[in-house]
Amino acid sequence: MRHCKLDIEALIQQTEHPKPYDRGKDSMWTDPYISEKLLAIHLDPSVEAASRSPKAIEATLDYIQKLVPRGASILDLGCGPGLYTHQLAKRGYEVTGVDFSSVSLDYARQRRDEEGLCITYLKQDYRSLKLDQTYDLIMMIYCDFGALVPEEQHHLASLIKQHLKEGGLFLFDSITEVGIKQMHFNASYSFSKGEGFYSPEPYLCLDRNFHFPDQCAVLEQHFIIFEDGETKLYRFWNHYFSNDQIKALGFSRISRQAGLLYGHGPYNNEEVVFYAVQP
Ligand X SMILES: C[S@@+](CC[C@H](N)C(=O)[O-])C[C@H]1O[C@@H](n2cnc3c(N)ncnc32)[C@H](O)[C@@H]1O
User: Residues in the site for ligand X, rule: CB under 6 A?
Assistant: 29, 50-51, 78-80, 83, 99-101, 104, 125-127, 141-142, 144
Nearer to ligand X, 38 or 249 (CB): 38
Nearer to ligand X, 84 or 203 (CB): 84
Contact indicator for 144, 235 with CB cutoff of 8 Å = no
Nearer to ligand X, 51 or 269 (CB): 51
Cα–Cα nearest to 134, from 157, 156, 166, 172: 166
Contact indicator for 275, 239 with CB cutoff of 8 Å = no
Residues 6+ apart with CB under 8 A from 31: none
Nearer to ligand X, 79 or 225 (CB): 79
Nearer to ligand X, 97 or 279 (CB): 97
CB of 7 to ligand X, least distance (A): 31
Report which secondary-structure segment, H or E, holds 164: strand 164-174
CB of 116 to ligand X, least distance (A): 22
CB of 94 to ligand X, least distance (A): 18
CA distances from 263 to 211, 259, 273 (A): 21, 10, 13
What count of Cα atoms within 13 Å lies in the side-chain half-sphere of residue 29?
18
CA gyration radius for the chain? 19
Residues in the chain: 279
Give the residue at shortest CB distance from ligand X.
78
Exposure string for 252-270, b = 16+ CB within 10 A, e = fewer:
eeeeeebeebeeeebbbbe
CB of 9 to ligand X, least distance (A): 33
CB of 144 to ligand X, least distance (A): 5
CB of 49 to ligand X, least distance (A): 8
Nearer to ligand X, 152 or 177 (CB): 152
